[in-house]
Amino acid sequence: MEFLSNLAIGFSVVAQPTNLLYCFIGVFLGTAIGVLPGVGPLATIAMLLPMTFGLSPEGAIIMLAGIYYGSQYGGSTTAILMKLPGEASSVVTTIDGYQMAQKGRAGPALAAAAIGSFVAGTVATVLVAVVATPLTLLAFQFSPAEYFSLMVLGLVFSIALASGSLLKALGMICLGLLLGLTGTDIYTGATRFTYGLRELFDGLEFTAVAVGMFGISEIIRNLAGKDELRGPVARIGSLWPTREDRRRMIAPILRGTALGSLLGVLPGGGALLASFVSYTVEKKVSPHGHEMGNGAIEGVAAPEAANNAGAQTSFIPMLSLGIPSNVVTALIIGALIIQGIVPGPGVISKNPELFWGLIVSMWVGNMMLLALNLPLIGMWVKLLQIPYTILFPLIIAFCCIGVFSIGNSSFPIYQLTIFGLLGYVFARLDCDLAPFILGFILGPMIEENFRRALLISGGDLSVFVTRPISAGLLATAVIALVVVSLPFIKRKREDIFVEES
Amino acid sequence: MTVSRKEISAGAMFIAFGLAYGYQSAFGLQVGTVRNMGPGLFPLALSIILFGIGLAVAFNGLQGDRLASKSAGIPWRPICFISAATVCFALFATTLGMLPVTFLITFIASFARKQTRVLPALFMSACIAVFCSLLFTYGLGLPLPVFGSLFRS
């Protein structure tokens, strides 16, 4: 019954009016900005991150999580109505979703996405609550060597799933790790890569780096492209799925949820992989599989359920081990660190309100999404029509004000400018930004654990392979690297990412 | 197969970062030994790996018999105007205050698009400036005043 009492703690946190309000604001803003064309969930979170600094830690993380699944959902709305995926994980939704919209069935498609997401969210929330505690206990037996190996594994998985060349993704990780080391060395007090700037003694400002890379550089990229020809927004019509629709939705939603929950837990996994795999599986196993691609409701329900489940279970490694499994959780870890909370297995015992509050808020947030999105769909469609001419100066103002507000100082804004340009260069050279940010966040942690492990072993490098858990993790990392480099898999993998872009 | 400018540039970038960081780690910091690690050892190791990856990426890009067609040029216009906007915010935020500085930077930024005209841009910037002042200074209570030190003397 410990499980129930834990959930009770969570409910008492979320039921506080202020926290409910933050959850609502997060979900609302997330959806609103996620719907805007050309602004993905990463840019949304990065942009709104500074707004949470003034809140309590619980309020901040609840709001951030709300922003995350709100923007995720907003992305699928544009995917269905305009064939514009707000983000990679709703790419597959465009296939059948837009076809349904063309046939005048946009309403049921939106409903299927919302209901699928809600069911998946509910199941995944329970899963997170059940799995996180035992994983945390396991994590307490981890020594620095295991932590080091686990982070290496996470980084390797993130490369395997990054778009583009493996080698370049590896390079981006090293670059991220290096830049993450900027600042004062905790063991010796030596300052590294600070170029004599006192402002850099505490390291580069994570928010400035993230907002620059995902907010500013995205604007430059959008403006450099040709003026997009936006298709007309499909008419929505009745939202209610027919009885036939409802019957056909159930199995795909359940399959999507199961697959998504599983794949979301993988370090480096999360929503993207989940949605792709569930679409492919659905095509094979569904009795209506042959209709998929021409506007079958299964093609919307399954991947939408899967990406939402994956988005939520990707919080499991973050909450229990303190290791980000994708860029979104990396951003949230960054926010927690700013709040003075060190993410890791200690959180569950030291800040039970934060931990259980977040888990319960995921479910409450999903319910709000359902209540918010279907009735308000007309308003979101209006937002879709805001021209980019007005949007991008507004986004720039938000980015600057947000980054300025971190310490009420101008210095982070220079970092914002530099990383905005750098982000554009990386993107132009087809270097994925996700491994960079993961490396950037993990840089100090991975070095600290590496040094501590070697300090304990007296400089014996074999400590990483003689401890069984550590050896197992490293072996998995090596196998994963070998598998994705195999010519056959490599071709398959490139195919998937070509389809996506 | 074509010679890929992108791959070669990406490789060159990794090599440059690897050299720069490797140099600083090896000569500016205590490297130490594996038994007693200094602050320079971990970054030095990373720089060497990065350098190696850079070489491999560039080498991959050179595998080809003909030159790929030239890629699109550098979009100087958005790069200049947007960087100018953010730098202006950093320079003038405290002296001008929230309202004037937001007006200034959104006005500058809006010219990142070629089609922008002065009058509509002025109007739009004014609207955004008022909106941001209301939201951030009054609504969220950010300590940046609506009018800065310049207007108070």
Look at A174 and B142 and tell me if their CB atoms are within 8 Å.
Answer: no
CA distance readout (Å), A195 to A201, A203, A395, A415: 10, 12, 31, 14
> Over the stretch A168-218, which tens digit does the pLDDT of each residue have?
989 999 999 999 999 888 888 888 888 888 888 888 988 889 889 888 988
Chain B hits for A171, Cβ within 8 Å:
10, 14, 50, 53-54, 57
DSSP characters over A258-305: HHHHHHHHSTT-SHHHHHHHHHHHHHHH-TTGGGTTSS-THHHHHHHH
Confidence of residue A494 (pLDDT cuts 50, 70, 90): low
A499 pLDDT exceeds 50? no
Q: Are residues B63 and B100 in the same domain?
A: no
| Number of neighbours of residue B58 by Cβ within 10 angstroms | 19
Measured between beta carbons, the chain B residues lying within 8 angstroms of A420 are 82-83, 86
More confident: A58 or B70: A58
A23 touches A364 (CB < 8 A): yes
Q: How far apart are the first and last CA of chain B?
A: 67
Give the DSSP per-residue string, B68-130.
PPPPP---HHHHHHHHHHHHHHHHHHHHH-HHHHHHHHHHHHHTTSTT--HHHHHHHHHHHHH
Contacts of A447 in chain B (CB under 8 A): 42
What are the tens digits of pLDDT across the range A221-272? 888 876 554 556 667 777 777 788 888 888 899 999 998 888 887 766 566 7
CB atoms A187 and B83 under 8 Å: no
CA A493 from chain centre, in angstroms, equals 21
- The phi and psi torsions of A368 (rounded to 5 degrees) equal -60, -40
ipTM higher than the 0.85 cut: yes
What would the two tokens of residue A496 be? Answer: 């998937």
Which amino acid belongs to residue A360?
A: V
Q: β-strands A183-184, A191-192: how paired? A: antiparallel
Long-range CB contacts for residues A337-345, cutoff 8 Å, separation at least 24: A337/A206, A338/A53, A338/A206, A338/A207, A338/A406, A339/A53, A339/A57, A339/A60, A339/A61, A340/A57, A341/A57, A343/A318, A343/A319, A344/A139, A345/A136, A345/A137, A345/A139, A345/A140, A345/A142, A345/A320, A345/A321
Q: Which residue from B46, B54, B106 is facing A178, i.e. has the nearest CB?
A: B46
DSSP-derived secondary structure letter, A242: P
pLDDT single digits (tens) A402-458: 888 877 889 999 999 999 999 999 989 988 888 898 888 888 889 989 999 998 888
- Among residues of chain A, what percentage have pLDDT more than 70? 91
Interior/surface letters A477-497, b for 16+ CB within 10 angstroms, e for the rest? beebeeebeeeeeeeebeeee
According to DSSP, the β-strands at A183-184 and B66-67 are unpaired
Which of A37-46, A136-145, A219-228 has the lowest average pLDDT? Answer: A37-46
Nearest CA in chain A to B105: A397
Q: Tokens 């900027």 — which residue?
A: A182
Number of A to B CB contacts under 8 A, please give it: 183
Which of A148, A199, A223, A226 would you mutate first to test chain B, the one with the most B CBs within 10 A?
A223
Q: Output b/e per residue, B90-100; b: 16+ Cβ within 10 A.
A: bebbbebbbbb
- B98/A219 Cβ within 8 A: no
Rounded mean pLDDT, B52-59: 94
- Who has greater pLDDT, A112 or A346? A112
Look up residue B137 and give its two tokens. Answer: 């200074």
Digit-coded pLDDT (tens) for A446-467: 998 999 999 888 888 888 999 9
If asked whether residues B22 and B53 sit together in one domain, one would say: yes
Contact A53/A60 with Cβ under 8 angstroms? yes
Say if CB B33 and CB A459 are below 8 A apart.
yes
Within chain B, how many helices (H) and strands (E) appear?
Answer: 5, 2
How far is A9 from A360, CA to CA, in rounded Å?
A: 9
Q: What is the mean pLDDT of chain A?
A: 83
What distance in Å separates the CA atoms of residue A431 and residue A433, rounded to the nearest whole number?
A: 6
Question: What's the CA gap between A93 and A117, in Å, rounded?
Answer: 12
Q: Which residue has the higher pLDDT, A235 or A19?
A: A19
Once rounded to an integer, what is the mean pLDDT over residues B90-114? 94
Contact B37 A399 (CB under 8 A): no
Say if residues A299 and A357 touch (Cβ distance below 8 Å): no
Q: Which of B10, B82, B93 sits opposite A216 (nearest CB)?
A: B82
Which residue in A14, A167, A77 sits closest to A384, CA to CA?
A77
pLDDT at B89: 96
Q: Tell me: do B58 and B14 sit in the same domain.
A: yes
B37: which strand partners? B32
Q: Per the CB < 8 Å rule, is A400 touching B85? A: yes
Sign of torsion over alpha carbons A128, A132, A134, A139: positive
Going from N- to C-terminal start, the domains of chain A cover 2-138+146-223+246-500
- A 10 A CB-CB count for A346 gives 14
Question: Which residues, including other chains, have CB under 8 Å from residue A478's CB and lie 6 or more apart?
Answer: none
Query: Six-digit token pair at B66?
Result: 């003909």
Domain-ending residue, one of B67, B89, B121? B67
How many percent of chain B have pLDDT more than 70? 93
pLDDT band of residue A324 (cuts 50, 70, 90) is confident
- What pLDDT is stored for residue A30 in this prediction? 86
CA B2 distance to own-chain centroid: 30
pLDDT at residue A38 is higher than 70: no
**Quick one: pLDDT at residue B44?**
95
Task: Provide the token pair at A459.
Answer: 């400089």
Number of domains observed in the structure of chain B: 2
Verify whether the Cβ–Cβ distance A411 to B90 is below 8 Å.
yes
**Which one of B67, B101, B120 terminates a domain?**
B67
- B106 vs A447: CB contact, 8 Å cut-off? no
pLDDT of the residue at B97: 92
Least confident segment among A19-33, A37-51, A211-225: A37-51
Helix, strand, coil percentages (3-state) for chain B, rounded to 5, are 70, 5, 25
Least-confidence region, from A459-463, B71-75, B89-93, B130-134:
B71-75
Q: At A120, list the tokens.
A: 């998946």
Q: Which amino acid is at A165?
A: S
Label residue A501 by pLDDT band (50, 70, 90). Answer: very low
In sequence order, the β-bridge partners of residue A192 are A183
Are residues B89 and B56 part of one domain? Answer: no
Q: Strand B2-3 and strand A191-192: pairing?
A: unpaired
Among A143-147, A157-161, B9-13, the range scoring the smallest mean pLDDT is A157-161
What is the per-residue pLDDT for A500?
A: 44
Residue B50's domain spans which residues? 2-67
Instruction: Clarify whether residues B42 and B92 are in a common domain.
Output: no
Q: At what angle do helices A411-428 and A433-457 cross, to 10 degrees?
A: 110
Separation between Cα atoms, residue A201 and residue A454, nearest integer Å: 25
Beta-bridged to residue A183, according to DSSP, are A192
Cβ–Cβ contact A166 with B under 8 A: no
